[in-house]
Amino acid sequence: MENGEHNNQTADGNGNGIIVIKNLTKKFGDNIVLDNISLSIEKGKTTVVIGPSGCGKTVLIKNFIVLLRPSSGEIYFKNKRIDNLPERELNTIRIHYGFLFQGGALFDSLSVAENIMFPIRQHYNTTDWGHVEDVIKTKLAMVGLDGFQNYYPANLSGGQKKRVALARAIALNPEVILYDEPTTGLDPIRADIINELVLKLQRELGATTVVVTHDMTSAYKIADRIIMLHNGKIIADGDAEHIRNHPHPVVQQFITGQVSEDDLAVLRASGSVAKAQFLPRDFKE
Amino acid sequence: MIGAIGANTVEDVSDIGRFGRFAWRAIKACGWSIGRTATYPLIWVQMNIIGVRSVPIVMITGAFVGMILAVQAYDQLAGMGLEEHLGVLINISVVKELGPVLTAVMLAGRVGGALTAELGTMNVTEQIDAVRSMGTDPVKYLVAPRLLACLFLTPVLIIYADLLGVLGGYFIGVIQLGINSQGYWDFSAYGVDMWDVAVGVIKGFFFGAAIAVISCYKGFTCKEGAHGVGQACTEAFVTSFMAILALDFALAVVFKAIYNTFWPMKSLVG
Ligand SMILES: Nc1ncnc2c1ncn2[C@@H]1O[C@H](COP(=O)(O)OP(=O)(O)O)[C@@H](O)[C@H]1O
Ligand SMILES: [Mg+2]
């Protein structure tokens, strides 16, 4: 807020956000990853969090469902404070969420169908296996992978794993879907398939969507709102247009993919690469 | 320097606290799991992985222990003309100490290492977070079945090791070295009673639980990367090994006290 980013921020809790974060700080030892962040995620919208690798995007969305506990600050889901709940009560909150992990985090020892069945079996005492099979089929069809029920994660490509993981994340028709770098490591075509999927799921499930990414193409395509993290703070917050025209030099460097003058200076100062090469043992000048 | 040691100690103490909480959660989860038949298939799977595949290695260990004891002890006993006492010496060592402890050490290496590697890999690939994100307690889903499988099967594997140890001793003592078979077994039956066998088997419950809880804990707290998983496996084995020895000592003291309370005469006669 020091940068005049007031859009949509409801640190004072005006209650229309489905997820509300107040003064969240997260430290690991002396490493302050998130520094007094306040944020409100609007229901039904797609919010994209951008920022360079290691800036704390994953830590931020793991705090949303209290997979990590804040060092200080408060987290609300539907106006209920959740950061101080015991794990057992959190489990009843978490079934309203779908979380797509960066690497998919599919269970290696379970088949695709069993992976998607996992949350269903954990939370419903169903014996109607025909119905469960139908649900699995529908979810896999949504991500374009019907027919892969009996595959194991080891036999899937990176993009397929992410799509199966997505099918698992939406198995219980969550109200909120959190995506951790859904397009990272995919080729542009497969990345765009994921973008379309994110949009489609948002349309069909009406889910509130939060996407963490450093892929600007993806961000522009899916976002209603873009938030940029830098040094543990939110330095930009607004729609795609607002971000494109943002005056902050760090934002401009990031969205245009340009290295800063400081980093360039370091590169220049490090001297010639050729000089640093090793010479053969028998080299004589 | 002193500050560094101090910081390290604080770290270790809080680590013990975390381990204690983890162990307590694991034990509660086991109780929960036993009450729910839906979790039995998970336990069954782990029993196959942990128990069945350990049988050959445990039996080979047992057999060698019996044979080695026979070879080592024979000359000394024969020198005093007491070679028929070989049976009692071998059998009591095997069922009370060497069978349980060596079986446990084998399992700490074979099963503990595999548990830590599996759970550690699940941890660094966010699979444990995935379990939590879907509203399931990973201690109930991942730790309880493994702990129960170790708890039930370590005593069974110890019985296998005992049997093979006794047979190994018999093979060397009676068949190879020609001790009178009748005398060998008579002395064994006189010197080894059910209590001794029971002590060894009961130790198995404690050893199994310790191996499982330590290995799962190391997996759950493992640091990122292949290096982290490897380090966690090493630590799991070393810690399990120390725990087995410490428990063995503590249980020896406890069992001795129990024995002396209930059968005070026997130790005078025997
Ligand atoms: N469990 C953890 N323990 C210690 N440090 C962590 C942990 N998780 C993340 N960090 C640190 O937090 C910072 C942000 O990590 P992360 O949120 O994964 O970044 P990214 O924006 O790439 O997702 C990094 O410096 C990382 O080292
Ligand atoms: Mg990340």
For all residues of chain B together, what is the average pLDDT?
89
Least confident of A224-238, A252-266, B90-104, B122-136: A252-266
Nearest to B94 by CA among B64, B52, B50: B64
Most confident of the following: B68-72, B124-128, B175-179? B124-128
Residue B6 has what pLDDT?
63
Average pLDDT of the segment spanning A66-88:
94
Would you say residue A7 has pLDDT above 60?
Answer: no
**pLDDT at position A13 over 50:** no
Give the model's pLDDT for residue B11. 65
Higher pLDDT, A284 or B92: B92
pLDDT band for position B265 (cuts 50, 70, 90): low
The H or E element that residue A178 is part of is strand A176-180
Mean pLDDT of B90-114: 92
User: Would you state the structure tokens that stand for residue A83, as one six-digit string?
Assistant: 């950061």
Ligand 1 lining (C-beta closer than 6 Å)? A 28, 31, 33, 51, 53-59
Q: Residues B4-27: pLDDT tens digits?
A: 666 666 667 778 889 999 999 999
Q: Closest Cα to residue B149, out of B58, B239, B214, B212?
A: B212
Position B229 scores a pLDDT of 92
The mean per-residue pLDDT over the stretch B116-120 comes to 95
What part of B 94-133 touches A (C-beta under 8 Å)?
A: 122, 125-127, 129-130, 132-133
Res. A6: pLDDT tops 60 = no
Whole-number pLDDT of residue B254? 92
Residue A1 has pLDDT above 50, yes or no: no
User: In the numeric block, which tokens belong to residue A184?
Assistant: 């990272």
pLDDT of A143 above 60: yes
C-alpha distance from residue A59 to each of A56, A65, A87, B262 (Å): 5, 11, 18, 59
What is the average per-residue pLDDT within B95-120? 93
| pLDDT tens-place string over residues B175-232 | 888 888 888 888 888 888 888 889 999 999 999 999 999 999 999 999 887 789 999 9
Q: A57 alpha carbon to ligand 2 midpoint, in Å?
A: 6
Is the model's pLDDT at A274 over the cut of 70?
no
Higher pLDDT: A133 or A13? It is A133
Residues of A whose CB is below 8 A from B122: 107-108
Nearest residue in chain A measured CA to CA from B126: A105
Beta-carbon contacts below 8 Å between A and B: 57
pLDDT value of position B141: 94
Instruction: Say if residues B69 and B90 touch (Cβ distance below 8 Å).
Output: yes
Distance from CA of A171 to the nearest CA of B (A): 10
The DSSP 8-state label assigned to residue A88 in this structure reads H
**CA-to-CA distance for B166 and B170, rounded, in angstroms?**
6
Q: Say what the pLDDT of residue B2 is.
A: 64
Q: How many Cβ atoms from other residues are within 10 Å of residue B14's Cβ?
A: 10
**For residue range B204-216, what is the model confidence (pLDDT) as tens digits?**
999 999 999 999 9
- C-alpha angle with apex B6: B5 to B10, nearest 5 degrees? 115
Strands A72-77 and A17-28 come out as antiparallel
pLDDT category of residue A284 using cuts at 50, 70 and 90: low
Classify A136 as helix, strand or coil: helix
Instruction: Give percent of chain B with pLDDT exceeding 90.
Output: 59
- The more confidently predicted of residues A219 and A270 is A219
pLDDT at B14: 78
Distance from the Cα of A103 to chain B's closest Cα (Å) equals 7
Per-residue pLDDT of A92-114, as tens digits, reads 999 999 999 998 999 999 999 99
Which amino acid is present at A227? I
Is A97's Cβ below 8 Å from some Cβ in B? yes
Q: What is the pLDDT of residues B33-44, one digit of tens each?
A: 998 888 899 999
Please write the tens of the pLDDT for every residue from A217-255. Answer: 999 999 999 999 999 999 999 999 999 998 999 999 998
pLDDT value at B268 more than 80 = no
The residue contributing the CA closest to ligand 1 atom 2 is A28
